[in-house]
Chain A
C-alpha cells in the first residue's frame, strides 16, 4: 500500500460489497458503510439513499481521527470500537484492516450485542480482501489487466475539467 494512493479493483470491490450486504442482513441493520480513514466513501449496503454518504464518510473519519488523538493522549494505541447511542438510531464504528472504518447504523430492530458479533465476522472477511488489495498493489497487477488510465492523462484532459 503506497502512501500516495489507495486503489480498489473490480473483484475486491465486489467482495467488499458482498461482505457489507451480508453484515447488513445478519446484523439487521439499516445501513452499513465502509470508509477510508481519510474520509473517502468506499462502499455501502442497505438503505443508503436516506443518508448523505459523503458527509457521513468525512465526519466519521474526523470522529475516528479525533478519538485516535484522545487514545494516544492517554497512552492507548487506538480505541478500536466507538458507539453512539441515539433516541431511535445508533451508530457502531470499528476499524477494519487498520486503514478502513466500518460504520453500522441500526435501530431497535437490532441490538448492540448482535451488531458487535456480526461486525467481528465481517471484519475478518474484509481483512482478507484488503490483504488481496495489498498483494495486487505490490505486484502492480490490476484486476482487469488494463494499463493505468492515469499515465496517459494529457494537459488537455486536465484543462477540460476546468473549462466550464
Chain B
C-alpha cells in the first residue's frame, strides 16, 4: 500500500523480493545496499538464522530522490524462501506495491521456482491482491553457473503475464539494478494511473 504523506511531501512504496530458498533474494538487497550512496539508504536489517538463512525478512529503505516535489522512498523486503516459512512469507506481502520474483537458474531448482510462483499468487490473493495487476519483475539469477537452464526455457516455465524479465548474477550485481528499476517504474506508473 503506497503511503503518501502530503504534509511531509513523501511517497513510500513497498517492494517485496520473492522466490525459492537460496535463490539470491538477500544477495540482491546486499548488492543494492553496497552500491548505494550512504545518503540514499537507511540501515539494512536482516532477521536471519545462525546459518544466515532468512528467518523473517531483510529490509532496506532506499531514497530515490524527488518526483513532483515529493521525496520518493522505496522499502525493499525479502521473504524467507524455505517452504515451511509460509506463514512469515505471507505476512511480509501485507501492503506490497510491487514484487520482484528471483528465480534460480539451476536445473534442479525449476520445480521450486514454479512452486514459489504459485505460492506467491495464492499468498497475494489472501491479502486481496491479484498477481495479474501487481507490478512484477522476473529475474533469472545465477546465470553464471554451468548448466544453467536456458533463459527462454525458464521464461516459458515462469513468465506469468509477459512481465519484464532480467538475467542476473546477483553476487556480481549483474541485472540487480535493472530489475529494481523495472519494478519501481511500474509502481510509479500505477500511482499515476490511480
Binding site for B on A (CB under 8 A): 2-10, 13-14, 36-40, 42, 52, 54-55, 58-59, 62, 65-66, 68-69, 142-144, 149-153, 157-158, 160-162, 164
Q: Which residues of chain B are within 8 angstroms of A2 by Cβ–Cβ distance?
A: 194
Cβ B94 vs Cβ A38 within 8 A: yes
16 more A-B contacts (CB under 8 A) besides A38-B14, A69-B91?
A6-B1, A7-B3, A8-B7, A9-B6, A10-B7, A13-B6, A38-B1, A38-B3, A39-B14, A40-B12, A42-B5, A52-B43, A55-B45, A149-B70, A153-B67, A161-B72
B15 to chain A minimum Cβ distance, whole angstroms, is 12
- The winner among B3, B65, B92 for most chain A CB atoms within 10 A is B3
A40 to chain B minimum Cβ distance, whole angstroms, is 4
Cβ B91 vs Cβ A66 within 8 A: yes
Q: How far is the CA of A151 from the CA of B70 in the complex (A)?
A: 13
Residue of B nearest to A9 (CB): B6
Q: How far is the CA of A152 from the CA of B193 in the complex (A)?
A: 9
Stretch from B55-63, B114-122, B139-147, B148-156 at the A interface: B55-63
Stretch from B17-25, B104-112, B162-170, B184-192 at the A interface: B184-192
B38 to chain A minimum Cβ distance, whole angstroms, is 14
Cβ B75 vs Cβ A39 within 8 A: yes
Q: Which residues of chain B are within 8 angstroms of A160 by Cβ–Cβ distance?
A: 65, 67
Given contacts A38-B94, A55-B59, A65-B91, contact A6 B45 (CB under 8 A): no
A163 to chain B minimum Cβ distance, whole angstroms, is 9
What total of chain B residues lie within 8 Å of the partner, measured CB to CB?
Answer: 44
Can you spell out 22 A-B residue pairs with CB atoms less than 8 angstroms apart? Answer: A2-B194, A4-B190, A5-B2, A5-B3, A6-B2, A8-B6, A10-B7, A36-B3, A38-B94, A38-B95, A39-B14, A40-B14, A40-B75, A52-B43, A55-B61, A66-B88, A142-B6, A153-B191, A160-B65, A161-B64, A161-B67, A162-B184
A162 to chain B minimum Cβ distance, whole angstroms, is 5
Binding site for A on B (CB under 8 A): 1-8, 11-12, 14, 42-43, 45, 47, 56-57, 59, 61, 64-65, 67-70, 72, 75, 87-88, 91-92, 94-95, 128-129, 181, 184-185, 188-192, 194
Q: Which residues of chain B are within 8 angstroms of A152 by Cβ–Cβ distance?
A: 68, 192
Q: How far is the CA of A164 from the CA of B37 in the complex (A)?
A: 11
Q: How far is the CA of A149 from the CA of B192 in the complex (A)?
A: 9
Q: How far is the CA of A164 from the CA of B35 in the complex (A)?
A: 12
Cβ B1 vs Cβ A157 within 8 A: no
Q: Residue A8 contacts which of B4, B61, B181 (CB distance < 8 angstroms)? A: B4
Q: How far is the CA of A42 from the CA of B3 in the complex (A)?
A: 9
Given contacts A5-B3, A13-B8, A38-B94, contact A158 B189 (CB under 8 A): yes
B63 to chain A minimum Cβ distance, whole angstroms, is 10
- The winner among B5, B42, B65, B87 for most chain A CB atoms within 10 A is B5
B2 to chain A minimum Cβ distance, whole angstroms, is 4
Q: Which residues of chain A are within 8 angstroms of B91 by Cβ–Cβ distance?
A: 62, 65-66, 68-69
Q: How far is the CA of A54 from the CA of B45 in the complex (A)?
A: 11
- The winner among B4, B64, B65, B181 for most chain A CB atoms within 10 A is B4
